Amino acid sequence: MKQLIFISVIISLMISCTNIENQKYSEKIDSLINIAQTTHNELLNAKLDSIVTAYQDVNNNIEFFKKKLNDSKYDSNFLKDYSKYSRLDKKLKSLNKEFKKMIREVEYSKSQLDNLKKDIKNKVLEFEKIKEYFKSEKKALDNLTKELSPVLTKTKKDLKLYKQLQAKMDSIRKKIETK
């Protein structure tokens, strides 16, 4: 009888410790969910629609100038600006893809974290699996947040260049169209 009581106490302590550990990981997961949400918001606020619009503008003007470049003489300043402008096409297309990929990744990570939290609540997973999945999602989010800063910097730089060159290209295009 004493052994049965002793075993019951030990099992109760083990369950209690596991519940405490699970609760700690549940709180850590909440923290990661907040990071994921913040990252998601940063991505959505990064003016993805501006990138798409800029890409479309650049692409349309490039098509126009490709048809007209042989018809007219252009000075070297225009050709230098046009060269920079035409490279923006690929940069903006790449940024658009990069943002969409990052948004999908952060949404997937948020979903995984939400599911992990539910699994902890429903006591579906063993503690070791919880630790393993947490570590994996933390690493994925850390990598994503490290990628984000340079992408945002590059986006600002490319959109600034777009604004500078777009006005010049539009002006030259209007002159050509009115001839």
pTM, 2 dp: 0.74
Q: Is 126 left (phi over 0), alpha (psi -120 to 50) or beta?
A: beta
Q: Which of 47, 30, 179 is nearest to 117 (CA)?
A: 30
pLDDT tens digits for range 98-108: 988 999 999 99
pLDDT tens digits for range 46-102: 777 888 899 999 999 999 988 877 656 777 788 888 889 989 989 999 988 998 899
Residue 60: CA count within 13 A, CB half-sphere: 10
So where are the chain's domains?
A: 25-177
pLDDT at residue 68, as a whole number: 77
Residue range 110-137: mean pLDDT, rounded: 87
pLDDT tens digits for range 147-169: 888 988 888 899 899 999 999 89
How much is the mean pLDDT over the chain? 82
